[in-house]
Chains A and B, each alone.
Chain A
C-alpha cells in the first residue's frame, strides 16, 4: 500500500526522469564510446577505456578538414539566413503589401517538401545552370532551407512587439536608425537568436541536401556516413561529444547570466 502511494506521489517525477533518460541515452552512448579502444575498424562494441582518440582528434585523415568545412558553411548559412529571415519576418508582420498572404504561406513550403526530393531538384537546378558543385552550392542550399525556420522564429517575436514602442522612441528624438538599434533590435533579439541557433544546428548536421549538391566537397556528416561504410573511427564520437559539451556550456552560461540579472533586479 505504501509503495503504491509512493508511486502515486512520484509518478510525475518518474515519468519525467524516464523521458529525460530516453532523450539523453544516445548522447551518453556517444560520450562513453569516445573513450573506447575498439578492436578492428568498427567502434560498435565496448573493449577498454582509452583517451587515445581525445589526444589525437584529427588523427583520421580528412576528418578535421570536413569539420572545418561544416563549421564554415554553418556559420555563413546562419549569417545569411538570419539576416534575410529577420528582414522577411519584419516585412511580413509590419507592412501591408500585395501578395503578403501568399508570401506568408510560401515561406513554409521548403519545410513541408520532403528533403530528398528537394535535394534532387536542387541538383537538377544547379546542373542546368551550369553551376560548379561545392562549397557555394552547399551554402546556397543551406541558406534556402534555414530561411523558413528563421522567419518562423523571428515572426513570432515581432508579432508580440507593440508598434507603439517604436513610436515612443521616435517621439523621444530617436531617428529611424537609432530607433531600430536601441529599441526594435534589442526587443526582437531573443527571437533572432533562437532563429540563428536553429539555423546553425540545421546547417551543421544536414546530410541529404548536402550530399546531393556537394560535388567533391566533403562535410562532417558526409565524412561520417562515408567512413561508416569502411569502419567508424572513435574520433567521430570525440567530435560529437565536444559539440554536445559546447552546447551544454552555452546553455549553462546563458542561464547563469539570466539568473544574475534577475538577482540584480530584485
Chain B
C-alpha cells in the first residue's frame, strides 16, 4: 500500500457512544506523517476506541477519519492502508510464523512473498523461527512477529494497541527501544496506545494525554512534563506538588503569588490560569526541581528563589536519590527527590528545612479542578 505516500492521520470531530455512555467525546487530532505518536491514558479513557476507529474496527458515532487526502471513515478495515499490532498479539495459531507474516501480502494477491517475509524476519531477528507455530515462541518473540506481520504491508500508519502490556518489565524496556529503532528505520507513522507514562515518554515524539474521552493535553514528552496545563496531566505524568495560592500582582513576565505568609514567583507563560489579581491558582513544582536546605543554613540560599519552610516527615533512601516527604503549612505532603551527591546528615525526619527552587520551574494551574486528578489512575496501572 505504498502507492500514496501523502499524509497525516486527521481525526475531525470523531466521537463514539455506546448507548448512553460516551467513550470518546468529539475529538480533533492530527498525527503528522512519519511521527511516533502516543495516546496515553488510564484504562477506559477512550484511547483504544480512538485507535480502533482509525483501524476501522470500530465505527465512529460522528466525525471523520482522513489518511492524507483520503476520507476513510466508511471504509472497512480490510480496505484501509493501516495495520494494527493487537494487544496480546492475536497471532493466527494455526499458521506458522512465516505464514503469519505473509498473511497480509497473500490476501492482496501477491504471489512471491518469500523475499519480503525473509527480510521482515531479519528486521525483527526471528529468521530461524520461520517454521514454528506462535505458541512455541516467547512473549517477546510473539510481539515481534505481530509487529512484522503488520509492517510487511508498508501501511501508511501502524497502530499499536498496548503492544508491550503482556511483557515483563525488563523485556518491555528492551522492546521499547526495539520499536523505536524499527520506527526510525522504516519511517512509518506509529500511533501507540499505552497507559504507561514512562513508555509513552520514552518512545513518542508527541504524546496526547487522554482522560474520560477527551484529550487533556498534547505535546512533546518534555513539554508535557515540564509544562502541564491540568492537574490530571501533572499527576499522571510523574509526581507534582501543588500549593494553593492567590495572584498577588504581575510584574513584567512574572506572576507573583501569595501562599501562606510567603510569596512565590512564576513565569506568566507557564501559568495556564487567568493571572488576575486575587484569582486562585495552584502553583505546581516537580519533586526533583526542589533543593532541600537545613533551616540553620537558610541564610545561604540565593535570593530570587521560591522558598517555603517545612519539617521533614519521612525519608526513604533509594540508591541514586533520597525521597523526602516534607510537611509544610502551605502543602501537607511535599515530595522532594534529592540526588545523593552531598548528603547532609542533619536532613532526617523531624528536621526543620527550607525548600527552594528556581521560579522558572514553577507552573500555575487553574485552581478550579481536582488537585488529585490522575493520581489514582496511575497507581492502578
Using a CB–CB cutoff of 8 Å, the interface residues on chain A facing chain B are: 162, 164-165, 167-175, 178-179, 182-183, 186-187, 264-265
Q: Determine whether the beta carbon of A170 is less than 8 Å from that of B90.
A: no
Contact of A173 among B87, B92, B107 (CB under 8 A): B107
Q: Determine whether the beta carbon of A168 is less than 8 Å from that of B86.
A: yes
Q: Which residue of B lies closest to A172 (CB)?
A: B104
- Given A164-B86, A172-B103, A187 contacting B93 (CB threshold 8 A): yes
- Contact partners of A174 in chain B: CB under 8 A: 78, 103, 107
- Given A172-B83, A172-B103, A165 contacting B136 (CB threshold 8 A): no
B10 to chain A, nearest CB (A): 20
Contact of A164 among B56, B77, B90, B104 (CB under 8 A): B90
- Given A164-B88, A186-B94, A187-B93, A171 contacting B77 (CB threshold 8 A): yes
- Contact partners of B55 in chain A: CB under 8 A: 171
Q: Determine whether the beta carbon of A173 is less than 8 Å from that of B93.
A: no
- Contact partners of A265 in chain B: CB under 8 A: 96, 131-133, 136
A237 to B344, CA, bound (A): 97
- Given A167-B57, A171-B84, A178-B107, A162 contacting B90 (CB threshold 8 A): yes
- Given A165-B90, A183-B92, A171 contacting B76 (CB threshold 8 A): no
Q: Which residue of A lies closest to B83 (CB)?
A: A171
- Given A165-B92, A187-B94, A170 contacting B83 (CB threshold 8 A): no
Q: Determine whether the beta carbon of B92 is less than 8 Å from that of A170.
A: no
Interface string of B59-87 (1 = CB under 8 A from A): 00000000000000000111100111011
- Contact partners of B76 in chain A: CB under 8 A: 170, 175
A191 to chain B, nearest CB (A): 13
- Given A173-B78, A265-B133, A168 contacting B93 (CB threshold 8 A): no
- Contact partners of B94 in chain A: CB under 8 A: 186-187
Q: Which residue of B lies closest to A261 (CB)?
A: B133
A40 to B298, CA, bound (A): 121
Give the most central of B76, B77, B86: most A CB within 10 Å. B77
Interface residue SS majority, chain A: helix
Closest 10 CB pairs of A and B: A172-B104, A168-B90, A164-B90, A173-B107, A170-B77, A186-B94, A174-B107, A171-B84, A170-B78, A173-B78
A257 to B96, CA, bound (A): 17
Q: Which residue of B lies closest to A264 (CB)?
A: B131
Q: Determine whether the beta carbon of B103 is less than 8 Å from that of A169.
A: yes
- Given A178-B107, A265-B131, A173 contacting B90 (CB threshold 8 A): no
Give the most central of A172, A175, A183, A186: most B CB within 10 Å. A172
B111 contacts chain A at the CB level, 8 A cutoff: no
Contact of A168 among B82, B92, B108, B133 (CB under 8 A): B92
Q: Determine whether the beta carbon of B78 is less than 8 Å from that of A171.
A: yes
- Contact partners of A173 in chain B: CB under 8 A: 78-79, 104, 107-108, 153
A36 to chain B, nearest CB (A): 48
Q: Which residue of B lies closest to A179 (CB)?
A: B78
A178 to B150, CA, bound (A): 18
Additional A-B contact list (12), CB under 8 Å, known A171-B77, A174-B78: A167-B77, A168-B86, A169-B103, A170-B56, A171-B55, A171-B57, A171-B82, A171-B84, A171-B150, A174-B107, A179-B78, A265-B96
Q: Determine whether the beta carbon of B78 is less than 8 Å from that of A175.
A: yes
22 contacts between A and B (CB under 8 A): A162-B88, A164-B86, A164-B88, A168-B84, A168-B86, A169-B103, A170-B76, A170-B77, A170-B78, A171-B78, A171-B84, A172-B103, A172-B150, A172-B153, A173-B78, A173-B107, A173-B108, A174-B78, A174-B103, A182-B103, A187-B93, A187-B94
